[in-house]
Amino acid sequence: MKRRIFAVLMATVMTVGMSATVWAGDSAGENGEIAFIPPDMTSPYYAMIIEGAEPTAEAAGYKLNVQSPSTSTSYDEQVQILENMISKGVKAICICTHDASSILNAVEKANEANIPVIVFNTLEDLPSEDVNVYAYVGYDPWEGGVMSADYIADKIGDSGDIAVLEGLEGFNNTERIEGFVDQIEKKHPDIKIVASQAADWEREKGYSVAQNIMQANPDVKAFFAASDEMAIGAAQAMKDDDIDGIVTIGIDGNSATMDSIDEGVTTASLDTDPYNIGVTAVEKAIDAIDGKELDDNKVIVPCFIVDKDNVKDYLK
């Protein structure tokens, strides 16, 4: 299966006195607009989600109005974007945030305006019974951690020292890490996690943290990173330090990771299929606009391992 990759055209604009990132699309949208609000558009992961979402909306006659805050922790800015979309009268809202509590009041306003809300890239309920979310669209992060643990165990012979690179605090990070650790402890008791440190989802921090861990723990055989960017950083650090044979796996399925795997730097990625998360989020938004009822508002997108054996199917 070849993944379609579209160019992500972004522009920085001033929105209500704040710097926001906006998708530069030109679809007229004869059926109206669907708001699409990721936590940022600097991450290649969210760029791939948008790549799936935009043509899906366009094919159904909707314009995808994509805006994000300037950083993934600019929560007030994201709330302002959400409230602006409500005032504009969009047909539906798709949103992903790293701080679910920050958007509760704005989601209530969307409910009052009869604008359906889809939360993407998570299956965790918003922390309030006073809000209505039509659907949650994402992969199972706990299962992703489990699959990553089994992959590492297979690659290192089910024994030895390993290390973990953590992202920022939040549902996805917690579920990925805890799923991984739980599987190691239950199914692979001869594997020892000798270090678990934060690298904040960033490639540069993944690089430096992995170097520090390796210096303190030279017998480490593998790194599990809660995101691809951190895994790429760890893998590059091992390459630059001429350390061979270290297994590195992250979670996301970014195109940059596929290139790194193909080049023999990063070992593997737990591909959460961000493209199809974008596709599915918009499909559910259209279902909500059309008044369709769901049997279950948790919509799971399957994830799978990509390594040197199958990476050619996922390259641009």
Residues 253-277: what's their mean pLDDT?
95
What lies within 8 Å, CB to CB, of 93 at 6+ separation is: 34, 35, 37, 82, 85, 86, 110, 115, 116, 117, 118, 285
CATH 3.40.50.2300 domain extents, the chain: 10-139+274-303, 141-271
Give me the chain's average pLDDT, please. 91
Q: Residue 182: is its pLDDT beyond 80?
A: yes
Mean pLDDT along residues 150-169: 97
Domain 141-271: homologous superfamily in CATH: Response regulator (3.40.50.2300)
Q: pLDDT of 30-81, one tens digit each?
A: 999 999 999 998 888 899 999 999 999 999 999 999 999 999 889 999 999 9
Residue predicted with more confidence, 234 or 8: 234
The answer to whether the pTM exceeds 0.85 is no
Provide the 8-state DSSP code for 309.
Answer: T
In this prediction, residue 20 has a pLDDT band, given cuts at 50, 70 and 90, of: low
Q: Mean pLDDT across the stretch 296-304?
A: 96
Show Cβ contacts of residue 144 under 8 Å, excluding neighbours closer than 6 positions: 175, 176, 179, 251, 270, 272, 303
Specify the CATH class of 10-139+274-303 in words.
alpha beta
Provide the pLDDT confidence category of residue 11 given band limits of 50, 70 and 90: very low
